[in-house]
A = this chain, B = another copy of it.
Amino acid sequence: MITKEAIIAAHERIQSLIHRTPVLSSEGIDALVGCSVFFKCENFQKVGAFKMRGAANAVMQLSDEEKAKGVATHSSGNHAAALARAATKLGIKSYIVMPSNAPEIKKKAVKSYGGEIIECEPNLQARETTLQSVVDRTGATFIHPYDNEAVIIGQATCAKELIEDVADLDIIMSPVGGGGLLSGTALSTHYWAPSATVIAGEPTGADDAARSMAAGEIIPMVGPQTIADGLLTSLGQRTFPIIQEYVNEIITVSDEEIITAMKIIYERLKIVIETSCAVPFAALIQQKERFQGKRVGIILTGGNVDLKRLGELFS
C-alpha cells in the first residue's frame, strides 16, 4: 500500500526537477459546461508532460551502484523524454528503446535530453527483447512507464498540488492509459480530498480500463484505435488494484468528442495540449448534466504535439 507519507516524501524529493504547474480556468468554458473547471496544466511541466514527476522520483531513489549503471525503458512517448532528462540531470546514463516508427519529434526530444535511443521493430515482442538485451548488456535499471511504484508515487504529486491549489473540489479527472497517473491521482484524492469523486476519461478505441473495471480483472488492450496516442497501453499489475479500489468511474469518449474538447481548450484557454489530454474534458462535456454546479479538477497531461499532425486535425 502506497502511503500518504510516501507521496509527501516524493514531492519534496523531486522539487528540483519539476515545475509547480499552474491551474487555469476560463469563464467561457465554465459557462459552456455549467460547472467550474480547474485545469492543472502539466503541458507546462518540464519535458512538457506529467511523466517528469514519476521518472524523477524513480531515478532519484536509485542507489549509487544502480546510478552508475544507468536506467532503461521502452517508450515512444513522454516517459522516454522524462526519464532521459531526469537521468541526465543527475549525471547518469539513460537507454531508451523506441519503435523505429516513433514520431521524429519524440526521438528528437529524447536525444535533446541526453538519452541514448535503441530502435526496435514496432511490436511488443521486439520491444521487450530489445529492452532485455540492453539491460543485460549495461546492467541499467528498468524503469517501467507506469507499472512501477516509484513512478505511481511521483505521478500522485500532480493531484496533490491540484488539491492544495483549489479548495473543495467535488470531482477530480484524469485520462487513463496504463494507469500510472490515474492510480496516483486516485491515491492523492483519497488522502487529501476524500470526499471528492475520481472519474477517468478513456478513448472508446482503447477502452481496456473501462472493460477491466467491469470485468474485475485486467483485460489487455489489443489493437487500440484512437487519436489519443498517449493512451494506447493496458493497465498494469500495480495500477489496476489501486484504480479498482479508488476510482469511481471511467467514461469512454469517441475520437470526435476528443477533437471537439481539444478545440475548446485551444480556443478558450489558449494553450497547446496533446490529444490524449482532452479525453477527460471530453468525458465531462459528454455527460455535462451530471457535472452541473460542481467544482471539477482536470489534469491536462502534456503538450508535446507534432504541429504538422495538429494542422491535419484542425484543417
A48 with B272, Cβ < 8 A, contacts A311-B315, A312-B315, A314-B311 known: no
Contacts of A305 in B (CB 8 A): 266-267
Identity of the chain B residue whose Cβ is nearest the Cβ of A42 in the assembled complex:
B270
Which 9 A-B pairs have CB atoms at the shortest separation, nearest pair first? A311-B314, A270-B303, A311-B315, A270-B272, A307-B314, A311-B311, A43-B270, A266-B272, A271-B271
A236 at the interface (CB under 8 A from B): no
User: Separation in Å of the A214 CB from the closest CB of chain B?
Assistant: 35
Chain A count of residues within 8 A CB distance of the other chain = 25
In Å, the complex CA distance between A311 and B312 comes to 6
Contact A307 B272 (CB under 8 A): no
Query: Can you list 21 pairs linking A and B with CB atoms under 8 Å apart?
Result: A22-B22, A24-B44, A43-B270, A44-B270, A263-B307, A266-B272, A266-B305, A266-B307, A267-B272, A270-B271, A270-B273, A271-B271, A272-B272, A307-B314, A308-B314, A308-B315, A310-B311, A311-B312, A311-B313, A311-B315, A314-B314
A contact set with B: CB distance below 8 Å = 22, 24, 28, 43-44, 48, 112, 263, 266-267, 269-273, 303, 305, 307-308, 310-315
Number of copies: 2
Please give 17 more A-B residue pairs, beta carbons under 8 A apart, in addition to A22-B22, A44-B270, A270-B272.
Answer: A24-B44, A48-B270, A263-B307, A266-B307, A267-B272, A270-B273, A270-B303, A271-B271, A272-B272, A307-B314, A308-B314, A308-B315, A310-B311, A311-B311, A311-B312, A311-B314, A312-B315
